[in-house]
Structure 1
Amino acid sequence: MSYDPPRPAGRLLLTPEDKEAPARADRLRRLGLGERTEPALDAFADGLAEVTGAPYAMVNFIDEDRQFFAGLHLPAIGPYVRSDGTSPEVGRTLPRDHGFCPHVVVRRKALVLEDVCDYPRFAGNPVVDEFGIRSYLGAPLIDSTGMVLGTVCVVDVAPRPWGKAGLETIKTAAAELTVRLERYGQV
């Protein structure tokens, strides 16, 4: 069974099929994650934003239908202004077909997009137009059972040369957070 919503014909972006979504949702419920904000995860996201210099950082748990940012760092002033002069309101949830974390979860490995517009598969993602996202760096949170719980990621509204150092930073952050999540049964 697929959990991907139908896409309009002609779009290159396809949200990957996620066969582990029901088992992940169950595991997240048992760990007490993915339903409420966590101050410790907000602090983790703050630290990740500081280390990478990114305006946005998230600890993201993904179930069958949505993404939930249990940890979220936002800039004090939104760095993206739409053509109509408004800034997008960033919340704690996104549909599963928004953003790049669902790709990280299904791939089970880190994803580096220095400029999402260089990749037709990702350039059409709703977060590009809605939030002005131009670069992404994310890694999966894989627990000791082999289950991908979600991701840690940073994004920017400008292209960013994340490089090998960025990749190592995000992978290390994901590994460290996974140990913390399991050690305490949650954060």
Structure 2
Amino acid sequence: MSYDPPRPVGRLLLTPEDREAPARVRRLHRLGLAQRPDPALDAFAAHLAGLVEAPYAMVNFLVEGGQFFAGLRVPEIPPVRRGDGTSPEFGRVQPRDRGFCPHVVVRRKALVLEDVRDYPRFAGNAVVDEFGIHSYLGAPLIDSTGTVLGTVSAADVRPRTWGKPGLETVKASAADLVRRIERSAEDGLPL
């Protein structure tokens, strides 16, 4: 099992140290998660995107060597274009130092960033420039063993005032998904 320690940038530690990574990876394997995209998790991400009216939503598991979006909703027409007219592809696998979900996992609590550019720790993240992500809303997936499996999150290309309704929605969505995951594992059925 490989685990990439965080890398400091200047005096800022952009990606937090994740001491629970080995236990999380073992738990994800036991639950049969984070091995392949799951249509049920894609549907879950699409539903979350609709609830908070965001172009991006993810069910993200932190795995060996990075992050895996087992559930993903991205806009059909990417909102960011490169100088040559093409758009970057938001893939299912990202390095651990991209995005904001690793912070949610280590914090073990929701994170609301109305404009990521207002926070020096987050403004320099690659997803800001590459995908135009300017706001983020995420909550941890904490199972009954106390393991943070990953996150559910939404992101937008414009600054957003997510407010208390957005925070409550993402936290309730995370709790609902954990119940579904654990019920599925108990019953031996797909999500």
Do both proteins adopt the same fold according to a TM-score greater than 0.5, normalized to the shorter chain? yes
Runs of at least 5 residues in structure 1 that lack an aligned partner in the other structure: none
Q: Please tell me whether the aligned partners of residues 17 and 106 of structure 1 are also in contact (alpha carbons under 8 angstroms).
A: yes
Partner deviation per Cα, 1:97-126 (whole Å, 9 max, x = no partner):
110000000000000000000000000111
Q: Please tell me whether the aligned partners of residues 2 and 19 of structure 1 are also in contact (alpha carbons under 8 angstroms).
A: no
Task: Name whichever of 102-111 and 63-72 sits farther off.
Answer: 63-72
Q: Residue 6 in 1 paired to residue 12 in 2?
A: no
**Closer/same/farther in 2, CA of residues 89 and 2 from structure 1, 3 Å limit:** closer
CA distance in 2, matches of 1:6, 1:113: 22
Local SS of the residue matching 1:184: helix
CA distance in 2, matches of 1:50, 1:134: 18
Q: Could you say what the CA RMSD is over the residues aligned between the two structures, in angstroms?
A: 1.6
CA distance in 2, matches of 1:160, 1:11: 28
Q: Please tell me whether the aligned partners of residues 104 and 140 of structure 2 are also in contact (alpha carbons under 8 angstroms).
A: yes
Q: Residue 117 in 1 paired to residue 117 in 2?
A: yes
Q: Residue 63 in 1 paired to residue 88 in 2?
A: no
Give the alignment's TM-score, normalised by structure 1.
0.94
Partner of 1:140: 140
Q: Report 1:1-187 matches (<5 A).
A: 3-7=4-8, 9-10=9-10, 12-185=12-185, 187=191
Task: Name whichever of 95-104 and 81-90 sits farther off.
Answer: 81-90
Give the alignment's TM-score, normalised by structure 2.
0.92
CA distance in 2, matches of 1:71, 1:142: 17
Runs of at least 5 residues in structure 2 that lack an aligned partner in the other structure: none
CA distance in 2, matches of 1:55, 1:162: 14
Q: Please tell me whether the aligned partners of residues 6 and 13 of structure 2 are also in contact (alpha carbons under 8 angstroms).
A: no
* Cα drift, residue 13 of structure 1: 4.8
CA distance in 2, matches of 1:132, 1:158: 8
Identical aligned pairs, as a percentage? 69
